[in-house]
């Protein structure tokens, strides 16, 4: 796998507390396969407002490191926020800068409160609690 940004081959799996993504040690970028970002920031989806935001995507010059023939699109992570992510619309993988991860984590707390509640309820039900 080559880094979509700097084309370095110094990109590889990095895992921490059960979360895994690919990290480029040259440009400090992160590639998240579908589901990995959601896992990390504990949202229900990697890109919670994707249906609207994907329509606003603009083509970049970056190639998807997984699909290799597809080009990534740039789009906001969340409506009315400046943070942009690069996304493959084929495999739903995401590319972002390492420092952007902290910003996403902050945003995720607000956007997905409902998602967290739903997951908590599901977990409680799995453990046999009856909730109405």
Interaction site with Zn ion (CB under 5 A): 3, 5-6, 8, 24, 26-27, 29, 64, 66-67, 70, 88, 90-91, 93
Tokens found for residue 9 = 């081959």
Closer CB to Zn ion, 19 or 27, in the complex: 27
| Least distance from Zn ion to the Cβ atom of residue 107, Å | 23
| Least distance from Zn ion to the Cβ atom of residue 94, Å | 10
Tokens found for residue 31 = 């590639």
| Least distance from Zn ion to the Cβ atom of residue 65, Å | 8
State the Cα angle at 118 between 31 and 79, rounded to 5°. 50
| Least distance from Zn ion to the Cβ atom of residue 69, Å | 9
Closer CB to Zn ion, 48 or 93, in the complex: 93
Q: Considering only CA atoms, which of 77, 67, 46, 78 is closest in space to residue 4?
A: 67
Closer CB to Zn ion, 96 or 111, in the complex: 96
The DSSP string of 78-105 is STT---EEEE-TTT--EEEEHHHHHHHH
């Amino acid at each position: 796998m080559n880094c979509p940004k700097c084309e370095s081959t110094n990109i590889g799996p990095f895992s921490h507390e059960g979360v895994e993504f690919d990290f480029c040690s040259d440009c400090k970028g992160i590639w998240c396969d579908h589901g990995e970002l959601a896992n990390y920031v504990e949202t229900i989806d990697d890109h919670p407002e994707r249906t609207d935001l994907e329509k606003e995507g603009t083509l970049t010059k970056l190639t998807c490191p997984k699909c290799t023939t597809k080009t990534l699109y740039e789009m906001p992570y969340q409506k009315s926020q400046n943070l942009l992510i690069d996304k493959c619309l084929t495999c739903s993988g995401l590319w972002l800068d390492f420092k952007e991860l902290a910003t996403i984590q902050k945003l995720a707390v607000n956007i997905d409160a409902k998602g967290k509640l739903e997951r908590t309820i599901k977990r409680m039900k799995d453990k046999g609690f009856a909730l109405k």
